[in-house]
Amino acid sequence: MKRIENKGTPRSHAVVWEQDISSYEDIILARQKVKSLMQGMGFSLLAQTRVITAVSELARNIVIHAGGGGKMSVSEASRTDKRSGLKCIFEDSGPGIEDIEKAMQAGFSTSNSLGLGLGGAKKLCNEFQIESVSGKGTSITIIEWLP
Amino acid sequence: MGEVTILKIGKNVIVPIQTELHDHAARKLQMDILNRIEKTGAEGLIIDVSSVSIIDSFLGRLLVETAKMAKLMGTETVLSGMKKEVVLTLIHLGLTMKNLRTALNIEDALILLESLKGKIHEKKEYRRPCGGGGAEYPSYKY
């Protein structure tokens, strides 16, 4: 049982893919790239589908909400228990999210969408971290671990 | 990002989505489908997503919307061929796609459309209060 407590924090790795996200085509590119990286790492098709859907939601958030666009960077992650994974960071310098808790709720939207994107993305990945400063931008990190 | 082919076979319009659609392309496809229904007066619409590797909240909503729009034009819609990974992800995401009729593949979708038409005609002709026919698809409600 000790092992579970001893998972440790993710170590940082070199970025393996980085791209700007400012148009709808960029969302497709991000999806395709993450998919091929995950395939290469040996993730299951289900894990790929889940994470790529999350990537799609988060990238779309940048296109819709962060006027000037933002970027996605992908790197490998590993833990002290030797499990490795894939980490995607979405950063933008848009208006930021005023009330993160509210934004994470299903059904909340400021853009006439379903409001499932942010909360959905959290449910679709192993780890989800969001930081946002009003007026400065938002940074969201997702990690999926290999089984 | 190629164009999506829209086929008219018999009285149905069949749309096999073979490419990853970005948002504008998906909106355009929705418009193209409605145009085609209007032009051909199709009775049924089948959207086949067996080649689609992900359905996110945007595409999911668009598909549900398209079915509603087709319904307003008098056309029944069946979504066919959702992969199990896609289905699992949709449920995780919280997108239930209520009120959207689905089938395992195009063939089943055609059978479902046939039975729906049968029901509609039957209702028009006999005005039966309940039951009668179409027992294969009891989940269908008016």
Across the interface, whether the CB atoms of B95 and A116 are under 8 A apart is answered yes
CA distance B117 to chain A (A): 32
Q: Give pLDDT tens digits for B42-100.
A: 999 999 999 999 999 999 999 999 999 999 999 999 999 999 999 999 998 888 888 89
> Where do the structural domains in chain B lie, given as residue ranges?
7-115
Residue A34 in contact with residue A51, Cβ under 8 Å?
yes
Query: Angle at CA A114, nearest 5°, toward A113 and A120?
Result: 120
B residues 12-51 near A, CB within 8 Å? 20, 22-24
Cα nearest neighbour of A63 on chain B? B23
Using left for φ > 0, alpha for ψ between -120 and 50, and beta otherwise, residue A89 falls in beta
Amino acid A3: pLDDT: 45
- Give B17's contacts in chain A (Cβ within 8 Å): none
Q: Which residues of B fall within a CB distance of 8 Å from A21?
A: none
Residue B118 or A36, more confident: A36
Q: Where are the domains of chain A?
A: 14-145
- Chain A positions touching B82 (Cβ under 8 A) are none
The reply to whether CATH 3.30.750.24 applies to domain B7-115 is yes
DSSP B68-129: HHHHHTT-EEEEE---HHHHHHHHHHT---TT-EEESSHHHHHHHHHHHHHHHHHHHHH--S
Q: Which of A3-12, A79-88, B26-35, B110-119 has the highest mean pLDDT?
A: B26-35
Give the chain A residue nearest B52 (alpha carbons): A49
Task: Give the per-residue pLDDT at B62.
Answer: 95
Query: Mean pLDDT, 10 residues at a time, over chain A (147 residues)?
Result: 48 86 95 97 97 96 89 93 94 91 85 82 95 93 96
Q: B109 CB contacts (<8 Å, ≥6 apart)?
A: B46, B48, B78, B79, B80, B103
| Distance from C-alpha of B78 to C-alpha of A89, rounded to nearest angstrom | 37
pLDDT given for residue B110 in this prediction: 96
The answer to whether A55 and A34 have CB atoms below 8 angstroms apart is yes
Q: Cα(A121)–Cα(A123) distance, rounded to whole angstroms?
A: 5
Using the Cβ of A41 and the Cβ atoms of chain B, whether some distance falls under 8 Å is answered with no
What is the amino acid identity at position B17?
I
Interface test with A, best of B27, B85, B87, B98 (most A CBs within 10 A): B85
**pLDDT band at residue B24, thresholds of 50, 70 and 90?**
very high
Q: Which amino acid, residue B82?
A: M
Residues of A in Cβ contact (< 8 Å) with B84: 46
Cα–Cα distance measured from residue A37 to residue A86, given in angstroms and rounded to the nearest whole number: 9
State how far residue A94 is from chain B, nearest Cα, in angstroms: 21
pLDDT band for position B38 (cuts 50, 70, 90): very high
The first and second tokens of residue B40, run together, are 């051909």
Domain A14-145 sits in CATH 3.40.50.170: no
Q: How far apart are alpha carbons B30 and B66 in whole angstroms? A: 6
Measured between CB atoms, does B1 come within 8 Å of chain A?
yes
> What number is the ipTM of this complex?
0.85
